[in-house]
């Protein structure tokens, strides 16, 4: 019997890509997920999968890193309770990673800001600062922005029009494909 010489770094935390199919053709494949081990390689891989299926896809990434040890325990319990799922282990692994209790490290929030109005963006950033939050990342989205922040009192910010809070979600990366493909 040969030995398995495949080498992989054991990562404590990972992010996940989520590709969501936009309206149109190919309704059997509405979403695809991929664990990010090497960002550029894994992004290219999920882009190729989207292009192979046709249509328009939006690729997103998890806001919070996922804890592989907690996800492994979740997966092991699920397989013990449902051994028939053993043929779907890749899908079940990604599902386990996305469980709410599998966040690794400091929790982050995402604000989905559906405006590009500079005055409203400045007002939002001032409110975040006054509420004890810090904007750690800004990502352009199709309708505006996705702000990744440290946790803070979000009541005033969420009262703003065009702003919604996701405590554990996905931020927009890019759109691939063409919605007009046959």
For the chain, the domains span 66-102, 109-169
* Long-range contacts formed by 128-133: CB under 8 A, 24+ apart: 128/152, 128/157, 130/156, 131/155, 131/156, 131/157, 133/109, 133/157
- Asked if 148 contacts 109 with a C-beta cutoff of 8 angstroms, the reply is yes
Paired sense of beta strands 66-67 and 13-21, if any: antiparallel
pLDDT band at 181 (very low <50, low <70, confident <90, very high): very low
Q: Are 115 and 140 in contact (CB under 8 A)?
A: no
Closest CA to 59 of 92, 103, 20: 20
Query: What pLDDT shows up at residue 178?
Result: 78
* pLDDT at res. 26: 47
2 compared with 163, residue with greater pLDDT: 163
- The two beta strands, 66-67 and 56-62, are unpaired
What's the pTM?
Answer: 0.85
Per-residue pLDDT tens for 143-175?
A: 999 999 999 999 999 999 999 999 999 999 999
pLDDT digits (tens, 9 = 90+) for 7-63: 667 788 999 999 999 875 445 558 999 999 999 999 999 999 999 999 999 999 999
- Provide the 10 A C-beta neighbour count for residue 53: 17
| pLDDT tens string 104-126 | 999 999 999 999 999 999 999 99
Helix and strand tally (H, E) in the chain?
5, 9
Pairwise CA distance, residues 84 & 141, whole Å: 39
Identify which of 118, 116, 148 has the alpha carbon closest to the alpha carbon of residue 133. 148
- Counting every residue, how long is the chain? 182
- Bridging pattern class, strands 31-36 and 13-21: antiparallel
Average pLDDT over residues 90-103: 95
């Amino acid at each position: 019997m040969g030995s398995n010489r495949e080498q992989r770094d054991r990562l404590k935390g990972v992010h996940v890509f989520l590709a969501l199919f936009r309206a149109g053709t190919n309704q059997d494949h509405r979403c695809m997920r991929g664990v990010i081990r090497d960002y550029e390689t894994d992004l290219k891989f999920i882009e190729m999968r989207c292009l192979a299926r046709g249509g328009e896809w939006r690729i997103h990434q998890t806001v919070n890193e996922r804890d592989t040890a907690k996800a492994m325990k979740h997966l092991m319990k699920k397989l013990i309770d449902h051994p028939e799922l053993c043929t779907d282990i890749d899908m079940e692994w990604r599902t386990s990673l996305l469980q709410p209790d599998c966040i690794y490290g400091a929790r982050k929030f995402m604000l989905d800001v559906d405006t590009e109005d500079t005055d409203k963006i400045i007002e939002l950033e001032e409110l975040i600062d006054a509420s004890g939050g810090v904007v750690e990342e800004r990502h352009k989205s199709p309708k505006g922005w996705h702000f990744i922040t440290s946790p803070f009192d979000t009541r005033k910010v969420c009262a703003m029009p065009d702003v919604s809070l996701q405590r554990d979600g996905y931020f927009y990366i890019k759109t691939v494909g063409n919605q007009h493909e046959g």
